[in-house]
Structure 1
Amino acid sequence: MKKNKTLLSSIAMAAILALAPAGSAVAEQIAVPVGSQADRSGTSTPSTGMTKESVRAKWGSPQDIQGPVGEPPISQWHYQGFIVYFEHDRVLHSVLKPNR
């Protein structure tokens, strides 16, 4: 009888521990709408569809070029305040670099 109680207690404790949340830390999730994450009004960036040639003509040579990688080939041009992503020879998107 004592063995059964001990076994039952062990199983109950294992079930409680399995259902309890891990750790005691609590995280808060903060959502920031995409439109308010950065002020783009003061920064001119390339538009979707521009060619590499037109980007280089307007903003000059990039500080760094990464890629291309994958299929279709995606490359990145890094400028002082932004990064331009290209698919083949056309701008997919440009993003501001975070302020540090």
Structure 2
Amino acid sequence: MKPISTLLLVAALSSIAPLASADVLLIDAISEAPANSGDGLLRPRPGQTMDAVRAQFGSPSEELPWVGEPPITRWVYPGFTVYFENEFVINTVVHR
């Protein structure tokens, strides 16, 4: 009896094995992201105020109105988008 139950277990497991899959993480693509320095794409840093960003980078090409609570505002520049919470930068995303 024991060999039959082992055989059934092996058959059951082998039937679900083809369903398993994995994604490939491309580390090279991540390392190619520009640094927030003079060597890469210079962009606002977290904690900067709206006034400081405007003084350093000029007026954005698009200012989207705030959404949600706390208010999150987006400023779009040619190479990146800046996200503000209230008056402070929380993130900058480089356009690809």
TM-score (structure 1 length as normaliser): 0.64
Classify 1:68/1:77 alpha carbon distance in 2 versus 1 (closer, same or farther; 3 Å): same
Identity %: 39
Q: Which residue of 2 aligns with 1:29?
A: 23
Over aligned residue pairs, what C-alpha RMSD do you find? 2.6
Which runs of 5 or more structure 1 residues have no equivalent in the other structure? 1-26
1:89 aligned partner, one-letter code: E
- Count of aligned positions: 76
TM-score (structure 2 length as normaliser): 0.67
2:70 alignment partner, one of 60, 69, 72: 72
Q: Secondary structure at the match of 1:68?
A: strand
Q: Hey, which bits of structure 1, 4+ residues long, moved more than 4 A? A: none
